[in-house]
Chains A and B, each alone.
Chain A
Amino acid sequence: MFDLAILQSRFGDQITESTFRDNHRIVVPAHSLYPILECLKTEQGFDALMELTAVDYLEYEGATDRYGVVYVLLNTVNSERLIVKTMINPPQLELPSVYPLWKSADWLEREVYDMFGIVFPGHPDLRRILMPEEFTAFPLRKDYPLKGIGERHNFPVITRAES
C-alpha cells in the first residue's frame, strides 16, 4: 500500500500528492527519484512498471519546467496504481535508469531517449529504437515541427548505378 508519510519522512516534503478522477499521482524531485521508486517497489509493493513516458511542456500554459517524466506503477496484488512524475530541465537531461528495478523499463526508456533526448545513465543499451540510428533530432519535442526538418526531402536518393 502507498504511504506518503513514509516517503516524506525519508526523502523530504518536496513530494506532493494529488488526485484526478481515479488517478493517484505524486510529483517528486529528480534527485531523489531513484530511491523513492526503489522504496515504492521494495517496501510498498509496486511490483510492475506499466508505463514510462515523457511530456515536453515547452508550449504548455503556466508550465515552469521543460520536461516531465511519468512512471505509472502498478501493484499486481491489489491493483493499486500510482503515477510518479518528476520534472527536469535542460541542459541536465538525465535521470537514473530504473532498469535494475523493473526490466520493462528497457525499451520504454529507449523510446523516451529516442523521442525526447532524455538520457538514462545506468541503462544497459541506450540506443535509438524507433528512429534510424543516424537521425539527429528528437521528434516528440515541441520545437520539432510536424512535417520534420527536411529529413524526407533532403534524403539522399540512391540511383541504380550507385547501389
Chain B
Amino acid sequence: MPLTQLDTAPPEAADQEFLWTLNFGPQHPATHTTLRLVLTLDGERVVNAVPDIGYLHSGFEKLGEHLDFNQYVTIVDRMNYLSPLANEIAWHNAVEKLLDIELTPRCKVLRTILAELMRMHDHLLNVGTTGLDLGAFTAFLYAFQQRELIYDIVEYASGQRFHTSYTRVGGVLFDVNLDWADKVRSFVKGFRPVYHEIDKLLTRNRIFIERTKGIGVLSQADAINMGATGPIARASGVVRDLRKDEPYLAYADYDFNVICSQGGDCYARYLVRMRELLESIKIIEQAVENIPAGPVNIEAASDVVLPAKPAVYRSIEGLIQHFEVLMPNRGYTVPHEEIYAATESPNGELGFYIVGDGTTRAYRARTRPPSYVHFAMFPQMIRGHLLSDVVAVLGSINIIAAELDR
C-alpha cells in the first residue's frame, strides 16, 4: 500500500467557532492508563489533539540517583509494567556496559529467553486490547490466557509474577532449573494453535480492518525524523531492529527475521506485532534447547556480583562478600564515565544514559522511554480522523503511562 498523507483540516478552521473541545481522559477506560488528550473537534472529526501528560510522574530518574545499581531495578520494573523484565534487562545491560562486565553464556541465554517472553507478553496485551477497544472482545481473552502462562513461567524463575526484580549486576537473582525449561517448552508448544485462533479472529475480520486500515498513517520519513523505533518504525518501513543491528545478549546466535511493513497505519502495526510473536517463539524455541551449563552469575570472586543466598545465610565468607558489595563505604569502583546503552524493548528502543561517579550509585540515570517519543507523534497521526479512531491509534502506539511519565 502506498504511503499517503492524511487529509488535515485547513489551518483557518482553528478559529472557527463551530469547533468544540473534548477532554479525553485522564480517567477513561480506553486510555488504559492515566493520560489526557484535549481534542478539538469539528463534528466528529478531530482537528487537533493536545496531549497532556505527567499524571503518573513519580520522579524515577531522581530516585535513580539515590539508589544503587541493584536497588534501582525495583524502580525500572515499574516503568513499562507490561514487560517488566525487559526494562530490568535494559537497565542492567547499560550498567554492565559501564562496568565492562561480560556475562556468562548461561545468563545471556536465560536473559534472552526472558526478554522474548516479555516481548510476547507485551504484544499479546497490545493485540488483545486493540481488538477490545474496537469491539472485538474474544481475541482479548485468548491473548490474556496466554499471558497468564507467561506469568507462571516468570514466577517459576523469580518468585514474582509481575514486578520480578530478577536481574542483578553480573547475573540474575536465582538460577533456573530443568523444570523451568520444560515449562517454557510446553508454553511454546501450546502457543501456535492459540496464535492461529487470534489470527483468525482479527486479521481478516472486516470490521477490524475497516477500523484500522488507513488510520493513523506515519510515513517512513516522519518515522525516522520523529524518532520512532520498534514495531511502530518497522510498520512504517524503517528496517531497524537493535537485536540485529547492534546485537546484545545472545541474539547474534539465533535465526529470526525482522518484520517490516510498508503500510504505516494501525493495521500495519497490528500485523507487525502479530508476526513478531512468531519470531519471538522461534527465538525461544532455539534458545531453550541450548541453555548452556555452568554458573549463571559471573565469578563470585569479582567484587561486583552479589553472592547466592544460601552462601550468605550459611557461611561467613558469603556474608562478608554480601556486605562488601552492599555497604555504602565498601562497594566496588565504577569508572568516572558516561554511557548510553539501548536494547530493543517490546515498544522500541529503551535506552539508559548513566553517568558514573565512582560510587555504586548512578550520578545520573536517564531513561529514554519509547512511549514518550511515540506519544509526541500522536497529534500528527490523529489529525483529520474521527473521534472513534482516537482509541484505535492510541492502542496501536501502545502508550504505557508509567513509562511515559516515569
- Residues of chain A at the chain B interface (Cβ within 8 Å): 20-23, 25, 47-51, 53, 55-56, 59-62, 70, 72, 76, 79, 81, 83, 102-104, 106-108, 111, 115, 128-132, 139-140, 146
Given A50-B368, A103-B226; A23-B340 close (CB under 8 Å): yes
Q: A23-B340, A50-B349, A55-B364 are in contact. List 7 more A-B contacts (CB 8 A).
A: A55-B355, A60-B363, A107-B375, A129-B54, A130-B54, A131-B54, A140-B62
A50 with B227: CB separation less than 8 A: yes
| Contact of A20 (CB < 8 Å), options: B238, B339, B349 | B339
- Residues of chain B at the chain A interface (Cβ within 8 Å): 53-54, 57, 59, 61-63, 66, 97-98, 100, 222, 224-227, 229, 238, 240, 245-246, 336-340, 342, 349, 351, 353, 355, 357-358, 363-364, 366, 368, 372-373, 375-376, 405-406
| Contact of B238 (CB < 8 Å), options: A50, A76, A81 | A76
| Contact of B340 (CB < 8 Å), options: A56, A72, A76 | A72
Residue in chain A with minimal CB distance to B351: A51
From residue B150, how far is it (CB to closest CB) to chain A in Å? 29
B351 with A50: CB separation less than 8 A: yes
13 contacts between A and B (CB under 8 A): A20-B337, A23-B340, A25-B338, A47-B225, A50-B229, A50-B349, A51-B368, A53-B353, A55-B366, A72-B340, A72-B368, A76-B238, A129-B53
Name the A residues within 8 Å of B337 (CB-CB). Answer: 20
The A/B interface has a contact count, at CB < 8 Å, of 101
Name the B residues within 8 Å of A107 (CB-CB). Answer: 372-373, 375-376
Name the B residues within 8 Å of A132 (CB-CB). Answer: 54
Residue in chain A with minimal CB distance to B98: A21
The docked-state distance in angstroms from the alpha carbon of A130 to that of B375 is 13
A102 with B340: CB separation less than 8 A: no
The docked-state distance in angstroms from the alpha carbon of A21 to that of B93 is 13
What are the 10 closest A-B residue pairs judged by CB atoms, nearest first? Answer: A104-B227, A130-B54, A107-B376, A79-B245, A130-B57, A51-B368, A53-B366, A103-B226, A55-B364, A104-B226
Residue in chain A with minimal CB distance to B375: A107
Dominant secondary structure of chain B at its interface with chain A: mixed
| Contact of A104 (CB < 8 Å), options: B63, B338, B363, B373 | B373
Name the A residues within 8 Å of B54 (CB-CB). Answer: 128-132
A48 with B339: CB separation less than 8 A: no
Residue in chain A with minimal CB distance to B233: A76
The docked-state distance in angstroms from the alpha carbon of A22 to that of B100 is 11
The docked-state distance in angstroms from the alpha carbon of A111 to that of B54 is 11
From residue B392, how far is it (CB to closest CB) to chain A in Å? 22
From residue B242, how far is it (CB to closest CB) to chain A in Å? 9
Most chain A CB inside 10 Å of its own CB: which residue of B225, B372, B375: B225
Residue in chain A with minimal CB distance to B349: A50
The docked-state distance in angstroms from the alpha carbon of A58 to that of B7 is 49
Name the A residues within 8 Å of B358 (CB-CB). Answer: 61
A48 with B227: CB separation less than 8 A: yes
Most chain B CB inside 10 Å of its own CB: which residue of A22, A61, A107, A140: A107
